[in-house]
Chain A
Amino acid sequence: MSAELEAARSAARERGDYKPMVQLVPYAAFLGVEISMHEGRQRCRLPFRAGLIGNSTLPALHGGVTAAFMENAALLHLLLQLDQDRIPKSIDFSIDYLLSGRAEDCYAECEVTRAGIRVVNAVIRCWQSDPTRPIALARAHFLLAAME
């Protein structure tokens, strides 16, 4: 894996091709997560599809999908921004839902609040059409591979 991880990181950093990194994480590929850079910040996008709906009356995205997308945004951020040779492990994840997720694309950005030797604290923000109105905010801790 570390060779694959290294290759995916090079593709992203040298050619701006983020697909190999997403493909490395089957669940991120299943959701359909895409990565791009915006003003020097790594941003994830979750293109809308009907299969992501949780409530078909409203309709609204499944709350689990929003959480899972934000966890992926954090994980992919760590994989690309830190030079870990293994995939960090999730310790915990806490999400506040602010608005119902509409049947539209979602975006997420992750900020590493603190990267220690063993543990990373990250905050993730998710929005839809209006970046100033987040639909969810989350906080996550990851265990880095260094301690194994």
Chain B
Amino acid sequence: MDNPDFHTLLRRRFAEFTPHVSECGMQIVELSAEAAVVTLPYRRDWLGDTERNVIHTGIIATLIDSACGAAVLGAIGRVQAIATIDLRMDYLRAAYGGLTLHCRAECYRMTPNIAFARASTWQDDPNTIVASAVGTFMRSPARRSQFTSSATAA
């Protein structure tokens, strides 16, 4: 559902309500009913293999989970608690240290209870995907007072 006010609010307060998103420095740079784009600036902490200068796939999973959560909330268009049911990542190629990670996620099917999302992650070239993912989310029947579940994957 298109709800520009909600999208603006979620984009601005994503980090504030999600401590781990804030700790990692992730930001929603685009959000609509169709998709979410989340970025993660590089830090040495993200490395998994210092010899090859390769970013750990675990932090990519965190970015993907956050972006899929944001996309699902963007598609719902209002405050709702959501929980990740499952998530599957394919790590297509190495992501290298020194470059920002970008993740675009979309909710491609929404039902009253379940949301299906998919995501692609890249670094400097949007056509060179480093990870692709699919995830399934459960929509909570209880409407919560804050949208803290944003991004998140309880």
Contacts and interface: CB of A to CB of B under 8 A. Distances in A.
A53 interface: yes
Interface in B90-131: 90-91, 94
B65 to A, nearest CB: 4
B86 interface: yes
A62 B62 contact: yes
Q: How large is the interface on B (under 10, 10 to 19, 20 to 34, 35 or more residues)?
A: 35 or more
B47 A62 contact: no
A24 B45 CA distance: 11
Contacts of A28: 48, 56
Interface of A is mostly: mixed
Q: How large is the interface on A (under 10, 10 to 19, 20 to 34, 35 or more residues)?
A: 35 or more
Contacts of B87: 63, 67, 94-95, 97
A69 B65 CA distance: 14
Given A62-B153, A71-B61, A93 B19 contact: no
Interface of B is mostly: mixed
A71 B57 contact: yes
B58 interface: yes
A57 B149 contact: yes
A56 B65 CA distance: 16
Interface stretch (A8-16, A37-45, A84-92, A126-134): A84-92
B56 A25 contact: yes
Contact of B49 (A29, A87, A92): A87
B80 interface: no
A90 B23 CA distance: 24
A123 to B, nearest CB: 14
Nearest to A73: B58
Contacts of A30: 45-46
Interface in A46-64: 50-58, 60-64
Interface of A: 1, 24-31, 50-58, 60-65, 67-69, 71-72, 75, 86-87, 89-97, 100-101
Interface of B: 17-21, 23, 44-52, 54-59, 61-66, 69, 81, 83-91, 94, 144-146, 148-149, 151-154
Given A68-B58, A86-B51, 4 more contacts: A27-B55, A56-B17, A62-B18, A93-B61
The 5 closest A-B pairs by CB, nearest first: A63-B153, A64-B62, A68-B58, A60-B154, A54-B152
